[in-house]
Amino acid sequence: MHYHSEVSFNHYAKIKRILEDQKPGWYIKKINSPTKAQNFKGETVSYPHYYRIFSKDGEQIKFCKFQQPIRLADMLSVPVDELPFQN
């Protein structure tokens, strides 16, 4: 497993809990818009894009915005290439 800061670990753990309550069929879309997040040192890091998780019905799932798919894959215990990305 990759190193997680407590803040990011908690965020990805929260996403995992949210997804456990979702109906099958949720998916991830890459959003080509800049975003910022805090790293484990408390520094603000900029990213050129982010990812958003949508329900089977195409609705954004609250709190399911993230920057690093590998961390989500680690939290869900799946290879990153098995995450359900959609264009």
Question: Which pTM value belongs to this model?
Answer: 0.84
**3-state helix vs strand vs coil in the chain, percent to 5:** 30, 30, 40
Q: What is the number of other CB atoms lying within 10 angstroms of the CB of residue 86?
A: 9
pLDDT of residue 9: 67
pLDDT of residue 4: 45
Ranges of residues in the chain whose predicted pLDDT is under 50 = 1-4
pLDDT of residue 52: 98
pLDDT of residue 3: 45
